[in-house]
Amino acid sequence: MPSLAGPASPLPVTGSARRNALIDGIRGLALCGVLVVNTMSFPHVFSSPVGVVDPADSTLALLIQAICVALFQAKSYPLLMFLVGYGWAMRTRRQGRRLDADVVASRRSQMMRQGVIGVLHGLFIYYGDILSWLAVLGLLLLAAPRRRLRRLCLLGAAWGGLWLAVGGTTLAVMLAFPAPAQSPVTVHWLTHAGSWPEVFELNRIGYASYFYQLPWQLPMMISLGIAGTIAGRLRVLERARYGARLWSIGAAVLLPAGLVLNVALAAWRVALYPDGETSVIDFVTQFTGPLLAAGAVCALARAWHAGRAHRLATFAPLGRMTMSFYVAHTLACTALFAGPAGALGPAFGSLGLFAFGIAYWGAAVLLAPAWIARAGPGPLEALVRGGGDERSRASRRNTIT
């Protein structure tokens, strides 16, 4: 019978921070989607989340964008939101109902530091920042471990219902009053920026535009974070006793349903190009993406505990330092694609941007184990986790970074 802890991991465990290779591996794998989508959209402020088709008349470029819609867009961010709750539940699990005040204070300080990094990152480096969103979610979930499980389930259902209600209303309005189709002409906003102040201004405008999504983005974050907290308290990803049936249902139902829906959206996007408005498709992926992500996690967990997914541990070191590699990626994109720097967006095109995102993630997978072996946590992870007493430091495992 396979071990309930999953296959033996070759990764060393250092210090008192005990890690779960399955959860870190999922987090490292999720970073691939973040990096690919961010790379595709980086030169194109105010465009689709997966950028524009470039060259505009290229069938291959259109296919690349369709692949991003089907497999990457809106899949990783919801998964990371879920892992915020799961990691917090793991960290506080042994505290019981009497959550230690020092642990809460340590977590609050960490999220505040991450929030500051995220806001600066969003304003000056990359407008599509995820760090600040996850920091807000981490703060909102501080009291979750004190809730009774039944109460937590009701709260999660209420926030999930609000998410679907607001999102459904928004979608109905978008369908009833469609926006005019955008020109298919490729525009490289950051590439055309003539100075760093102009780059920063574009980032500030783009970052501020995300706050218009709060009516449905916030309920989505909270409901997914609560779902992660519930799953973490029940050890759904860690113990086959609690998760086996759920994994089977997710792998058999959610995974194929998510694939079909997301591939259909990608085909719809191709059919509309170049004369149709695609903002409705971009919006719908925010609902179909979590479905596919949930199915994929169920399939991975089932395979892991059956001893068939030991290679997932390869991504675990990257899962321990996603923040540092994430920010390093946007710095690299700034150097390559911002007008005052490389201005290479047109030279890369859709295929080049996609390849760069995949290649960067692959390099990060290879570099992360060497970094951790020599220097421990990534520099930003160390900055966020700094401070606190020995007891709170000892409980820091599987945090969102």
Look at residue 361 and tell me if it is in a domain. Answer: yes
Interval 241-293: pLDDT, tens: 778 889 999 999 999 999 999 999 999 999 998 887 888 999 999 999 999 99
Look at residue 53 and tell me if it is in a domain. Answer: yes
Look at residue 5 and tell me if it is in a domain. Answer: no
pLDDT value of residue 333: 95
Q: Which residues of the chain have pLDDT under 50?
A: 1-17, 387-401
* CB atoms closer than 10 angstroms to residue 173: 10
Of 73, 20, 81, 37, the C-alpha closest to 320 is: 20
Look at residue 12 and tell me if it is in a domain. Answer: no
Look at residue 194 and tell me if it is in a domain. Answer: yes
- Give the total number of structural domains in the chain: 1
Look at residue 11 and tell me if it is in a domain. Answer: no
Range of the domain at 72: 21-178+185-394
Look at residue 77 and tell me if it is in a domain. Answer: yes
Tokens of 228: 């992660």
* 3-state SS track over the chain: CCCCCCCCCCCCCCCCCCCCHHHHHHHHHHHHHHHHHHHHHCCCCCCCCCCCCCCCCCHHHHHHHHHHHHHCCCCHHHHHHHHHHHHHHHHHHHHCCCCCHHHHHHHHHHHHHHHHHHHHHHHHCCCCCCHHHHHHHHHHCCCHHHCCHHHHHHHHHHHHHHHHHHHHHHHHHHHHCCCCCCCCCCCCHHHHCCCHHHHHHHHHHHHHHHHHHHHHHHHHHHHHHHHHHHHHHHCCCCCHHHHHHHHHHHHHHHHHHHHHHHHHHHHHHHHHCCCCCCHHHHHHHHHHHHHHHHHHHHHHHHHHHCCCCHHHHHHHHHHCCHHHHHHHHHHHHHHHHCCCCCCCHHHHHHHHHHHHHHHHHHHHHHHHHHHHHHHCCCHHHHHHHCCCCHHHHHCCCCCCC
Of 292, 291, 309, the C-alpha closest to 301 is: 309
pLDDT value of residue 101: 77
Look at residue 284 and tell me if it is in a domain. Answer: yes
